[in-house]
Amino acid sequence: MNVVDLPLVAPDRKTSGFRPLKVLHHFGKLVEDKEDTEQVFHIIEATKGRRSNAQAHAFIRSPEGQRFLREGTDIPAMLDDHARWADCGPNTVAAHYIAFMRREGLSAAGLVAESHKWAPPESLPQDQTQWYFDRLRDTHDLFHVLTGYGRDALGEAALLGFSYQQNRNTGILFIAYAGARQIKKVSGTKAPIFAAISEGRRLGRAAAKIAHQDIAALMREDIGAARARLNIGKPEVYRQCLAILNAEGTLSEDISLSGAQAA
């Protein structure tokens, strides 16, 4: 069935509210391996509340949301089709996105596959609300590219602070601050780690919602112009933290939740 023909909310959709024991269990697994993205999906689902659903429904009912529903674009397939962006200039969002994904060894399809480890598509409610939540997932790496946050543990945590203000899921905010606390604990750094999370929240609050954009058009924009249009500020405190950690002997790639190795 075409997504535009699905109900806004399926009869079997449930709002979990906040389930702290489940959250702590899966955060413990994330501490063991920050690349275990499946745990993030578990945490988000265990904290998904009315605010997340209300934002989803407001966007779906908006003119832009209705247009994107009708177009039915497969965002991961579009983003992974690097040949589609071959005519884009070197400073476009597309060029920066492709360079980031290749450097990190990532694909949009890979993130989808990680989410399916948590919940196979057939087990999820078949409704337009799920289409919106999938859209949030599918644009995650674009958040990295547009904000400048890296994939080190602090970059991911600060980006989650940004994402919370964009998407209003308390699980995202929990991971951000719990991750910051863990980084501070295992590294012993003097860097203002919690301030980097707060900065991420401030930047996310000020910015236009990235997942609500026309992604195909956004990819073709000059990245500086896109950041200005979306009002995405620079993560200065995050960069300050990386500089301090580096001076202390910890490179960004060594920052982790389970322990930071000296360079």
Please check the confidence at residue 16 and state whether its pLDDT lies above 70.
no
* CA 144 to centroid of chain Cα atoms: 8
Q: In one letter, which amino acid is 249?
A: G
* Weakest-pLDDT range from 41-50, 53-62, 173-182: 41-50
Q: What SS3 class is residue 211?
A: helix
Q: How confident is the model at residue 167 (pLDDT cuts 50, 70, 90)?
A: confident
- Can you say whether residue 63 is alpha, beta or left, with left for phi > 0 and alpha for psi between -120 and 50 degrees? alpha
pTM of the predicted structure, to 2 decimals: 0.86
- Angle (nearest 5°) at CA 205 between 177 and 108: 75
Q: What SS3 class is residue 92?
A: strand
Q: How confident is the model at residue 262 (pLDDT cuts 50, 70, 90)?
A: very low
User: Which residues make Cβ contacts (< 8 Å) with residue 27, sequence separation at least 6?
Assistant: 39, 43, 174, 175, 178
CB neighbour burial string for 152-177, b if at least 16 within 10 angstroms, e if fewer: bbbbbbbbbbbbbbbbbbbbbbbbbb
Please check the confidence at residue 263 and state whether its pLDDT lies above 60.
no
Give tens-digit pLDDT for 207-238: 999 999 999 999 999 999 999 999 999 999 99
Please check the confidence at residue 260 and state whether its pLDDT lies above 50.
no
Q: How confident is the model at residue 144 (pLDDT cuts 50, 70, 90)?
A: very high
Mean pLDDT to the nearest integer, 114-126: 84
Mean pLDDT to the nearest integer, 145-158: 94
